Amino acid sequence: MQMVAASFVVPVTSPPVAGGALVLDGGRIVAVGSLKELRAAYNVPCREYPGCVILPGLVNAHAHLELTHFPAWKVRKGIDYSPRTYVDWVIQVVKIRRALTQRELEHSVREGIRVSVECGTTAIGEISTDRALLPLYGAAPLVGRLFFEAIGQEPAGCERLRGELDAAVASFRAGSFHAGISPHACHTLSSRFMGEIVALARSHGVPTAIHLSESREEAAFLHDSGGKIAELLYPFAGWQEYLPAPQRTTSTAYLDALGVLDAATTVVHCVHVTPADAETLNRRGVSAVLCPRSNERLAVGKAPALLLKKSGIPLALGTDSLASNDSLSLWDEMRFLLRQFPDVFSPREALEMASINAARALHLEGETGSLEKGKRGDFLVVAPSAEVDLVGLHEAVIEESKLQEVFIAGQPASI
Asked whether residue 389 is domain-assigned, the answer is yes
Do 204 and 347 lie in a common domain? Answer: yes
Verify that 276 and 375 share a domain, yes or no: no
pTM confidence score: 0.97
Q: Are residues 145 and 6 in the same domain?
A: no
Q: Are residues 8 and 150 in the same domain?
A: no
Domain identity same for 16 and 158: no
Per-residue model confidence (pLDDT) at position 415: 60
Q: What is the pLDDT along the chain (415 residues), one digit of tens a residue?
A: 999 999 999 999 999 999 999 999 999 999 999 999 999 999 999 999 999 999 999 999 999 999 999 999 999 988 988 898 999 999 999 999 999 999 999 999 999 999 999 999 999 999 999 999 999 999 999 999 999 999 999 999 999 999 999 999 999 999 999 999 999 999 999 999 999 999 999 999 999 999 999 999 999 999 999 999 999 999 999 999 999 999 999 999 999 999 999 999 999 999 999 999 999 999 999 999 999 999 999 999 999 999 999 999 999 999 999 999 999 999 999 999 999 999 999 999 999 999 999 999 999 999 999 999 999 999 999 999 888 889 899 999 999 999 999 999 999 997 6
pLDDT value, residue 271: 98
Judgement on whether residues 407 and 273 belong to the same structural domain of the protein: no
Does 265 lie in the same domain as 381?
no
Mark whether 274 and 285 lie in a shared domain: yes
**Which parts of 170-244 are beta strand (E)?**
177-183, 208-212
The number of distinct structural domains making up the chain is 2
Range of the domain at 44: 2-56+371-413
- From CA 220, how far away is CA 200, in angstroms rounded? 29
Q: What is the pLDDT of residue 386?
A: 86
Residue 51 domain flag: yes
Which CATH number do you get for residue 31?
2.30.40.10
pLDDT of residue 80: 87
- 293 and 323 in a single domain? The answer is yes
Judgement on whether residues 172 and 208 belong to the same structural domain of the protein: yes
Do 206 and 340 lie in one domain? The reply is yes
Say how many C-beta atoms besides its own lie within 10 A of residue 391's C-beta. 8
Q: 245 and 145, same structural domain? A: yes
Q: Confirm whether 399 is domain-assigned.
A: yes
Q: Can you spell out the DSSP letters for 19-64? A: EEEEEEETTEEEEEEEHHHHHHH----EEEEEEEEEEEPEEEEEE-
**What is the phi-psi region of residue 275: left when phi exceeds 0, alpha when psi lies from -120 to 50, beta otherwise?**
alpha
Residue 205 has a pLDDT of 98
Please report the pLDDT score of residue 257 as a whole number: 98
